[in-house]
Amino acid sequence: MSMKSQESRGGRIRLVVAYDGADFHGFARQQGLRTVQGVLEDTLSNMLQVPILVHGSGRTDKGVHARAQVVHWDQPYGPPADRVVHVLRNRLPADIIPIQAREVDSEFHARFSVVRKTYRYALYRKPIPDVFTYRFSWHVAEPLNLAQMRLAASELVGEHDFTSFCAVAAPQENKVRRIYRVELQEDRDGNLYVFCEGSGFLQYMVRIIVGTLVDVGLGSINADAMPAILAARDRAASGRTAPPHGLCLWNVEYPTVYGGRVLDL
């Protein structure tokens, strides 16, 4: 029985998905490459037998993961929101997991309705890499000065021009962003997690922030240099770019009318 022949309804659907980004060329569709958006659109179009365009809360780069990516699409018919997750779990590949779905009004937009995002970056700090975590963390075995890293991170909170912390070819003309927190959390095994929460992020911004903080922790950049790095508005002034596989889109927040944070922290 086709989806169209089943009892169904149209409208705008918001879906929260998690994915392992290791085998994707990022979120955004690219001709001839496997991407999260491309897989979602192909799956939904085949399921509903009409072309479906998926809009995401933001683009993650090749190799970057998501705990809570948000997408929306408009459908002329299809399963009601309370069945979308179940239906898609039987159709999507194992590295994309649908988590929750809801119907939203036509004013909602997965990207433009966002009020803040949270990214988490994981650093695995034991001497020998772990085969079960290497796809999701950056192995940094050298000792890190966490006190200096936290001091440097505090200088990034607030509204700044982040030209020094984004790709030289970043497409956004306005490089000013507001950062609400850059927090370092250490677990019982000594592994480190860097949480970056802000109104929005530029291309490679979180990865450059983390790479620069690691350089601070290793002693190659002074923590008190952060204001000067920001003021330089020059990518060459900051530190390295952390590899993509340690980064995860952790949470997305919308106005209260749309439910606030999409997942509990």
Q: What does the chain look like in DSSP terms, one character per residue?
A: --GGGSS---EEEEEEEEE-GGGSS-SS--TTS--HHHHHHHHHHHHHTS----EESSPPPTT-EEEEEEEEEEESS---HHHHHHHHHTTS-TTEEEEEEEEE-TT--TTTT--EEEEEEEEE-SSS--TTTTTTSEE--S---HHHHHHHHHTT-EEEE-GGGS-TT-S-S--EEEEEEEEEEE-TTS-EEEEEEES---TTHHHHHHHHHHHHHHTSS-GGGHHHHHHHT-GGGS-PPPPGGGEEEEEEE--GGGTSBSS--
Domains, in order of start, for the chain: 7-105 (3.30.70.580), 116-251 (3.30.70.660)
Is residue 134 marked as binding?
no
pLDDT, tens digit, for every residue of 35-60? Answer: 999 999 999 999 999 999 999 999 99
pLDDT of residue 91 exceeding 80, the answer is yes
| 61 catalytic per annotation | yes
- Find the catalytic residue in 23, 42, 61, 224: 61
Mean pLDDT for the chain? Answer: 94
pTM, two decimal places: 0.93
pLDDT, tens digit, for every residue of 97-139? Answer: 999 999 999 999 999 999 999 999 999 999 999 999 999 999 9
